[in-house]
């Protein structure tokens, strides 16, 4: 298994234009800084707390009819969403997964906690954004899938339930 080891320390100077720096501070948390010097963080997957706390976006999102239950969606405007896709980087700032479809063109989106209804998940396995709003246990390959996005979505609790816990979005 590949690992990325980061030493803890002070925030670095801003990187060159068009780049970001990823670093660990002495609080043992990850941060990133863009070329303007804007620091964001701490980032990454959360820890602790109850896994039973499910958080859904208030109200309904307007979605195309092709958006179905358990699909990953991203925001397309005020209260609007569409399918996220790892091959289309502009669609990978995910809001969450569709947890209800009261009508053909409205959806409730769950962005944290447990979501049930899946079939065939493998308990303990991390799932990633795939294509057309789907999830996969196989992440994009950094050498073969250049231009795609690696976005951890969550970890399967059992064969039907995913613990939604978005990880760090990395464009390959």
| Chain segment 23-69, per-residue pLDDT in tens | 777 766 666 666 676 666 555 544 333 334 555 554 589 999 999 99
pLDDT range class, residue 11, cuts 50, 70, 90? confident
Write b or e for each residue in 105-130: b if 16 or more Cβ atoms lie within 10 A of its Cβ, otherwise e. Answer: ebbbbbbbbbbeebeebeeeebbbbb
Average pLDDT over residues 157-172: 95
Three-state secondary-structure class, residue 115: strand
* Rounded-to-integer distance, Cα 64 and Cα 103, Å: 11
φ/ψ of residue 98, rounded to 5: -70, 120
**Domain range list for the chain:** 8-43, 55-171
* Rounded-to-integer distance, Cα 119 and Cα 100, Å: 17
pLDDT of residue 141 exceeding 70: yes
pLDDT of residue 155 exceeding 60: yes
Average pLDDT, whole number, for the chain?
Answer: 83
Residue pLDDT, tens place only, 63-101: 999 999 999 999 998 889 999 999 999 999 999 999 999
Q: Rounded to an integer, what is the distance from CA 18 to the centroid of its chain?
A: 22
Residue 73: strand pairing partners? 83, 96
Average pLDDT over residues 127-155: 96
CA atoms within 13 A on the CB side of 110: 25
The predicted pLDDT at position 96 comes to 93
Q: What angle do CA 108, 131, 18 make, to 5 degrees?
A: 95
Three-state secondary-structure class, residue 111: strand
Of 153 and 26, the one with more pLDDT: 153
């Amino acid at each position: 298994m590949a690992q990325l080891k980061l030493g803890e320390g002070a925030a670095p100077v801003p990187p060159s234009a068009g780049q970001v720096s990823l670093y660990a501070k002495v609080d043992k948390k990850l941060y990133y800084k863009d070329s303007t010097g804007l620091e964001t963080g701490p980032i990454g997957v959360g820890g602790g707390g109850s896994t039973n706390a499910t958080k859904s976006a208030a109200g309904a999102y307007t979605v195309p009819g092709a958006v179905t239950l358990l699909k990953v969606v991203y925001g397309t405007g005020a209260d609007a969403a569409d399918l996220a896709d790892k091959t289309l980087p502009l669609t990978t700032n995910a809001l969450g997964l569709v947890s209800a479809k009261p009508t053909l063109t409205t959806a409730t989106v769950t962005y944290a906690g447990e979501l049930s209804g899946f079939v065939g998940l493998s308990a303990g396995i991390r799932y990633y954004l795939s294509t057309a709003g789907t999830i996969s246990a196989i992440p994009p390959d950094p050498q073969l899938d250049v231009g795609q996005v690696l976005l951890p979505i969550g970890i399967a609790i059992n064969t039907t339930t995913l613990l939604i816990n978005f990880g760090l979005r990395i464009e390959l």
